[in-house]
Structure 1
């Protein structure tokens, strides 16, 4: 991976607000904007899905069928519902009215993690323990495709501008591309022990990801050209990443440093420190108005208004 030349220092970001005190002890993890205008959050510690209204700050908690199911990453589906992965090796679905179901996966102990809507009207997920990527229709029909790796630990997943799905291979130090027919291309990263995790489709048509071990933000074009930028703080341990709707780069969480970061296309970084020690931000969502939301393992939601 080549290193970009960072731009001029940028001014710092305002401190985020901490909201949703009703989530104490629930270990919020994944977060996404729903089709109803609310934020939907996985509560890994309590086996629930939460709905948070960003206007009224109203909070609803929806218990799932097992308190220890461990909901993880969540994404809107093409059917108007929210879909999420679970630590008990199932994929869940919840309507905006709070009705939830789950689906068993064909590979025992597969470890589903990342999930995203594909261009084919289905949901796609990674199976961390099985070196596979799966497709689940909105009716619950599952097909899984091998990535051709062993111990690669496929993690986050995003739909690219090229009509394919792209995922990080956390332990294989690679980015994989899989088309809707199951054909796989693996792009090795030149950074040793990078540990890529979160990935997103950037506003420039490329895929952007974060490396939790190496402390870098990476970029790959749909043609496979790789570049990237090292974070100023090597201990930041970036975890999740999402595109900036203004078109100016991407936002990411700095799990190890208790911050939310922003990277511009030229590699300029800005950072917002969370006003609580041990916040441990995980999932990230950016709404259409540019507001950045992060799920904090400590039991809050963080809201950052950059303007």
Structure 2
């Protein structure tokens, strides 16, 4: 049943949700799998953007348009608002090895750490000569080093232990966007404007470009599966591609529909692929085994789901155009 209440802030910065779950379910597909789709309004998060699992059942979400980081509990509907600072415009958020939320904070041109318990915000600003990097996405490598992209043409690394921050120009200039880590420990990123993916040597900081088979494809986001394949959402071509880093081979599939625009890609722990298609106003599930696509169109126009993430049995995204979260649960039928 739909339950609504007005958003109210208390002394602790907590908010009651405007919507505690409105769910729909699909019929089982050919493999006996069904999906439950639930929407959660989070109106205090303006431009609900990138999301990640906070590790305790809650979800971190960036409010890019009002400089906030939200922590949402889908069980209670409770929302905690963290103000990131003057002129903040957070883009990406991940959970670090320390349990904290680490944010690529484009508005302040900084990496932000938000403590998991106290929600204290620490900023690590880029050098003045690297202003307006348009920070995008980050990962941690297996040694606890943070690697991040800036769409204005930078790749960076940050050591939380020493607070040392290093910046390098990306090959072909602007475009560095999504970034991922493979199970073998390799760091890969995608360049939207540069139309390529690239491996970062996490020891030497050398960057090696790899060209996808489709020219001008607009590689936007990347995510690794358990087999060291890097999955790529191709904004311009409408394809999803997989690059096998072990064999150096590619496979490519076109998303269904008229002129698809795949924005993000996320690989769940069952090696199923989730994409967001701006043209179809939908989240798209892809099974690499059956090569079947399943679409989940939003019930509101202009959803604009950007980066996705998830946890076992759940894929999450932020509808940046509607200031709400969407959760899709995968349910195997007996």
- Scaled by the length of structure 2, what TM-score is found? 0.82
Aligned equivalents of 1:134, 1:9: Cα separation in 2: 44
CA displacement 1:120-175 (0-9 Å, x = unmatched): 21111012213x31111224321123333233x11000011232210001111111
Q: Note the C-alpha offset of 1:9.
A: 8.0
Q: 1:270 maps to which residue? A: 294
| Superposition pairs of residues 10-29 of structure 1, within 5 angstroms | 14=35, 16-23=37-44, 26-29=46-49
Q: 2:80 maps to which residue? A: 60
Secondary structure, counterpart of 2:43 in structure 1: helix
Q: Note the C-alpha offset of 1:12.
A: 9.6
Q: Note the C-alpha offset of 1:60.
A: 0.9
Q: 1:211 maps to which residue? A: 234
2:72 is the alignment partner of 1:87: no
Unaligned runs of 5+ in 1: 1-7
Larger radius of gyration: 2
2:87 is the alignment partner of 1:31: no
Secondary structure, counterpart of 1:261 in structure 2: strand
Corresponding residue pairs, total: 294
Q: 2:198 maps to which residue? A: 176
CA 1:294 to 1:90, structure 2 compared with 1: closer, same or farther past 3 Å?
same
- Higher relative contact order (CA closer than 8 Å, sequence separation 6+): 1
Q: 2:187 maps to which residue? A: 165
Query: Quick check: 1:263–1:269 contact (8 Å CA) kept in 2?
Result: yes
CA 1:23 to 1:236, structure 2 compared with 1: closer, same or farther past 3 Å?
farther
- Scaled by the length of structure 1, what TM-score is found? 0.89
Q: Note the C-alpha offset of 1:231.
A: 0.5
| Superposition pairs of residues 93-108 of structure 1, within 5 angstroms | 93-97=113-117, 98-106=119-127, 107-108=130-131
Q: 1:306 maps to which residue? A: 330
Unaligned runs of 5+ in 2: 1-28
- Superposition CA RMSD, Å: 2.0
**Which of these residues, 246, 249, 271, is aligned with residue 270 of structure 2?**
246
CA displacement 1:200-236 (0-9 Å, x = unmatched): 1113321111011111111111133222111112433
